[in-house]
Amino acid sequence: MQTVYKVMDALLPFELFHYAFMKNALLALLLLTPLLALLGTMAVNKRMAFFSDALGHSALAGVGIGVLLGISNVTLILVAFGICWAVLITRINRTGGTSSDTTISVFSSAGIALGLLILSGSGKYGKYSSILVGDVLAITPGDILFLAVALAVGIAVWVALYNRLLLTAINPQLAQSRGIPTKAVEYCFVILVAVAVMLSIRWVGVLLINALLILPAAAARNIARSAAQHALFSVIISLFSGIAGLCAAVPLGTSVGAAVVLCAAACYALSLLLARALKLRLQA
């Protein structure tokens, strides 16, 4: 990591980034935001905006179950529980018994309630309450290495599945007629989202993870004219929001996660204005 720090010192000769914890936070955001942005584009296309919210809320339940089982590795239990929760939601959605938004709402409410019940009953709520808002400034070099591997694997899987995911999202019947295993593709996608969300939630927070996943993708969709532009603009907006939010939050002494989300929200508002301006220009 020392070599990386030296490179950052040369590229970022600002007092703000002289501290190791600031370098770690910046590296974490540079690794987290692109993966969330790419997954967010598909979540927006598949109308799964609240799916990640349900996963985020279930994080407390995962931590609570980990406490009951005596598992000290928070990341491991979060990822394992997130995958199970995502698969279960998708399984119920595919049965068609209830609407997807109803299922997601039920799982979201049940997840956070179960987590609060277990953690408050065991007296461990205070220890894990920080997961609600996250703290990217607390990230360690070991976490960064883990995130780098997760980013590489996540992007590789996303690229491998992208065309089939896009066709499945646009026209499931056509995808099936072309021999695409839509069920398997959907499960792979929700598992990938679950892993990304659960890896990010310790530093972004339960209350903000859904916004960070969806806002950049939604903003990019307003101004993109192709699928490639949608992905590219989403990554750019997400990276900008992460860097700008970090640089603004630390001097002001505010939550980094909240500042990042507000930057993404500002980008979304700007994208609406740009989209309107482009529409008026085309009509003129």
Domain boundaries, the chain: 2-283
What is the dotted CATH code of the domain comprising 2-283? Answer: 1.10.3470.10
Helix axes 209-223, 227-252, angle to 10 degrees: 130
pLDDT of residue 43: 84
The pTM (predicted TM-score) of the whole model is 0.85
Helix, strand, coil shares of the chain, percent, nearest 5, are 85, 0, 15
| Residue pointed to by tokens 């900008």 | 240
Do the Cβ atoms of 120 and 63 come closer than 8 Å? no
| Chain segment 45-69, per-residue pLDDT in tens | 777 777 877 887 788 888 888 888 8
The amino acid that residue 155 corresponds to is I
| Chain segment 72-114, per-residue pLDDT in tens | 787 888 888 889 888 888 888 777 666 777 877 888 888 888 8
Cα(151)–Cα(145) distance, integer angstroms: 10
